[in-house]
A and B are shown apart, each in its own frame.
Chain A
Amino acid sequence: MHCQPPPEQVHDLDALDRRLIDSYQRGLPVCPRPFARIAERLGAAEDEVIARLERLQARGVLSRVGAVFDHARAGASLLAAVAVPEAERDAFAELINAAPGVNHNYARETQGRAPLAQDDPAGEHDYNLWFVMTAPEAPALEARLDALEARLGVPILRLPMLESFHIDLAFPIPWAELERT
Chain B
Amino acid sequence: MSVSTCRSSRDAVRAPEVPGLEERALDAHDRAIVLATQAGLPLVPDPWGAVGREVGLDGEEVLARLRAMQARGVIRRVAAVPNHYRLGYVANGMTVWDVDDAEVERLGREVAAIAGVSHCYRRPRHLPHWPYNLFAMLHGRSREEVERQAEALRERLGAACRDHRILYSSRILKKTGLRLSRRTPSA
Report the separation of the CA atoms of residues A32 and B6 in the bound assembly, to the nearest whole angstrom: 37
Q: A128: shortest Cβ distance to chain B, in Å?
A: 8
Q: Which B residues lie within 8 Å of A171 (CB)? A: 115-116, 118, 139
With an 8 Å Cβ cutoff, the count of chain A residues facing the other chain is 96
CB of B108 within 8 A of CB of A105, answer no
Q: Can you list, as one digit per residue, whether each of B64-108 has a CB less than 8 Å from chain A (1) or not (0)?
A: 001101101111111111110111101001100000000001001
CB of A167 within 8 A of CB of B119, answer yes
Q: Can you list, as one digit per residue, whether each of B6-37 has a CB less than 8 Å from chain A (1) or not (0)?
A: 11111000001111110111000000001001
Q: A65: shortest Cβ distance to chain B, in Å?
A: 5
A34 touching B122 in the complex, CB below 8 Å, given contacts A136-B19, A178-B87: no
Query: Which of B9, B25, B73, B173 is A106 in contact with, Cβ under 8 Å?
Result: B173
Report the separation of the CA atoms of residues A100 and B88 in the bound assembly, to the nearest whole angstrom: 33
CB of A181 within 8 A of CB of B141, answer yes
A161 touching B173 in the complex, CB below 8 Å, given contacts A68-B76, A68-B79, A101-B17: no
CB of A170 within 8 A of CB of B123, answer no
CB of B45 within 8 A of CB of A35, answer yes
Q: Which A residues lie within 8 Å of B165 (CB)? A: 110-112, 114, 116
CB of B80 within 8 A of CB of A24, answer yes
B113 at the interface (CB under 8 A from A): yes
Q: B59: shortest Cβ distance to chain A, in Å?
A: 8
Q: Can you list, as one digit per residue, whether each of A1-43 has a CB less than 8 Å from chain B (1) or not (0)?
A: 1111101101000000000110011111011111110000000
Chain B interface size, under 10 / 10 to 19 / 20 to 34 / 35 or more: 35 or more
Label chain B's interface by main secondary structure: mixed
B55 at the interface (CB under 8 A from A): no
A4 touching B166 in the complex, CB below 8 Å, given contacts A118-B129, A166-B112: no
CB of A161 within 8 A of CB of B122, answer yes
Report the separation of the CA atoms of residues A10 and B86 in the bound assembly, to the nearest whole angstrom: 9
B111 at the interface (CB under 8 A from A): yes
A164 touching B121 in the complex, CB below 8 Å, given contacts A4-B7, A46-B45, A64-B81: yes
A157 touching B17 in the complex, CB below 8 Å, given contacts A31-B63, A66-B37: no
CB of B40 within 8 A of CB of A1, answer no
Report the separation of the CA atoms of residues A106 and B94 in the bound assembly, to the nearest whole angstrom: 11
Report the separation of the CA atoms of residues A70 and B26 in the bound assembly, to the nearest whole angstrom: 13
Report the separation of the CA atoms of residues A168 and B41 in the bound assembly, to the nearest whole angstrom: 21
Report the separation of the CA atoms of residues A144 and B33 in the bound assembly, to the nearest whole angstrom: 28
Give 30 A-B contacts (CB < 8 Å), ordered by A residue: A8-B88, A26-B79, A30-B70, A34-B47, A64-B10, A64-B81, A66-B38, A67-B76, A68-B81, A69-B34, A69-B38, A73-B72, A73-B74, A75-B19, A90-B3, A97-B1, A100-B16, A100-B17, A103-B176, A104-B174, A106-B173, A107-B171, A118-B126, A130-B167, A134-B20, A136-B18, A161-B121, A164-B120, A165-B112, A181-B141
Which A residues lie at the B interface, using CB under 8 A? 1-5, 7-8, 10, 20-21, 24-28, 30-36, 46-47, 50, 53-54, 56-57, 59-71, 73-76, 79, 90, 93-94, 96-98, 100-112, 114, 116-118, 127, 129-131, 134-137, 157-171, 173, 178, 181
Instruction: Give 6 new A-B contacts, CB below 8 A, not counting A70-B73, A76-B20.
Output: A35-B43, A62-B82, A67-B78, A69-B75, A73-B74, A75-B18
